Structure 1
Amino acid sequence: MISETAFGQAAATIGCEVAVIKAVAKIESAGAGFDSSGKLKVLFEPHIFWQQLLIKKINPERYAATYKDVLYAQYKQDHGSYNVQWDKLNRARQINEEAAMKSASYGMFQIMGFNHEAAGFNTVADMVVAFNTGEDAQLQGFVKFIQSNKLHVALQQKDFTTFAKKYNGPSYALNAYDTKMQTYYLQIKNKS
């Protein structure tokens, strides 16, 4: 669990309110980096896996029929519950370990594996190991990611639409990330 002091330090580094960071965490992971059994939260993205295989010059069509639950070309909104995500990731790892790990998002802030360098890690494996140590490491990775991608201004201005567009990608509106983040921000702000 992240202390209020750590949240405060992260907010000071970014230059935004603590409630803004907490709203991001709430929309990304319901505010927790680990599930009820203590396992790191992960969300596997089959369409990203398709892209990552192409980057590695591996033909995804060769595997699509056998691995249709973890490999398809276009984004689909239904990912399934958190409790099946590690199984999906592990199935994808049978095709290619690094591409699979880069195709999932991890922890409280659901940072995509392919963004490991922006989050301050040399490899995706390094990021996952660090994020497994606790939510403080996940918060530090989030702060580095925000700085690397110059998203601090959107958070400072509470411009949740711009933030969601850049943080969650072009499908952000399908999931109403921006409006939900605004709602969570107001709820959190009103409690403090």
Structure 2
Amino acid sequence: MAVIIKKGDHGSAVHDLQSRINLHGTRLIVDGWFGDATEAAVATIQRRAGLVVDGVAGPKTMAVLRGEDCNRRLKEADLQAAADRLGVELACVKAVNEVESRGSGFLDCGRPVILLERHVAYRQSKASGLPIDTLALRYPNLVSPNRGGYAGGTAEWSRFDNLRSVTTQQIAVESCSWGLFQVMGYHWQTLGYASADDFQLLMMFSEANQLDAFIRFIEDDPALLKALKAKKWAEFARRYNGPAYKENLYDAKLAAAYAKAERLAA
């Protein structure tokens, strides 16, 4: 699991972060405490690199500090373009990105983050006329009327390849959620992609393309877009996360992320 260091954290990881930042010309006090000064310094590093400016030191910021290539990663300009396209404040898009995204759209191996939903594979296989009873009996971790069977991380790609071999390429794509925002592949046609293969190729290319899929998803739901424009976080969270949003405080997290985005932009 990728390490994410943020305001309020303390310890050796923060100490190392501050030391790395100072190698880039900053004069932070290396005290192992992630306070206002460290948050501002992280935001400066992100701004210089063109990354999303959120003041949180996640895998992308750490990659910049290590001098790695971040061309496939989400940029501040990508979020600004999304805000312009949706007709909302940049801080609104930043809030949604911080709370609803998975932090990184790619695994360390370079492949997109995916999660195979076996109950979706069951549904899509049935719709395609495949022998679902046989498939579910032989491959219960790939095709099942029930949720579950997750392996996580790179192992999800093994599940993807196995599902593709026993069903079809299209069903495998449609049965997975993809990238930063975990948009389900079966939405490809509704969201305007030429094919399931086209959707997969774009998701594999960049986090900007993964953001585009999410923006298309919001555009396809006028009520969701209306809630975002009005900054009605509870309504947005209810429509996007479902009725259990309150248990996970998604509305409160969105409101806090919006306030932080405004503060860092000042």
Partner of 2:227: 154
Bigger mean CA offset, 42-51 vs 111-120: 111-120
Moved over 6 A (4+): none
Q: TM-score, normalised by structure 1?
A: 0.82
Higher relative contact order (CA 8 A, sep 6+): 1
Kindly tell me the number of residue pairs found equivalent between the two proteins. Answer: 188
- 1:143 is the counterpart of 2:241: no
Partner of 1:5: 77
Which of 72, 75, 80 is 2:151 aligned to?
80
Q: Provide the rounded CA distance (Å) in 1 between the counterparts of 2:179 and 2:186.
A: 14
Q: Is the 8 A contact 1:23 1:182 kept in 2?
A: no
Q: TM-score, normalised by structure 2?
A: 0.62
Q: Is the 8 A contact 2:164 2:172 kept in 1?
A: yes
Q: Kindly provide the amino acid, as one letter, of the partner of residue 190 in structure 1.
A: K
Matches within 5 A, 1:87-126: 87-97=158-168, 98-126=170-198
Q: Is the 8 A contact 1:29 1:41 kept in 2?
A: no
Q: Is the 8 A contact 1:23 1:181 kept in 2?
A: no
Q: Structure 2: where are the runs of 5+ without partners?
A: 1-72
Q: Provide the rounded CA distance (Å) in 1 between the counterparts of 2:180 and 2:94.
A: 10
Partner of 2:253: 183
CA apart distance, 1:147? 1.0
Matches within 5 A, 1:26-37: 26-37=98-109
* SS of corresponding position for 2:154: helix
Q: Is the 8 A contact 1:120 1:145 kept in 2?
A: no
Q: Provide the rounded CA distance (Å) in 1 between the counterparts of 2:131 and 2:251.
A: 37
Q: Kindly provide the amino acid, as one letter, of the partner of residue 92 in structure 1.
A: L
Q: Structure 1: where are the runs of 5+ without partners?
A: none
* SS of corresponding position for 2:115: strand
Structure with max Cα Rg: 2
Q: Provide the rounded CA distance (Å) in 2 between the counterparts of 1:174 and 1:61.
A: 34
**Residues 55-110 of structure 1: CA deviation (Å, up to 9, x unaligned):** 1122311111221111110234x733222211111111112221121010111121
Q: Provide the rounded CA distance (Å) in 1 between the counterparts of 2:118 and 2:80.
A: 35
Question: Cα distance 1:55–1:181, how it changes in 2: closer, same or farther (>3 A)?
Answer: farther
CA apart distance, 1:113? 0.7
Q: Provide the rounded CA distance (Å) in 2 between the counterparts of 1:99 and 1:111.
A: 15
Q: Provide the rounded CA distance (Å) in 2 between the counterparts of 1:175 and 1:94.
A: 40
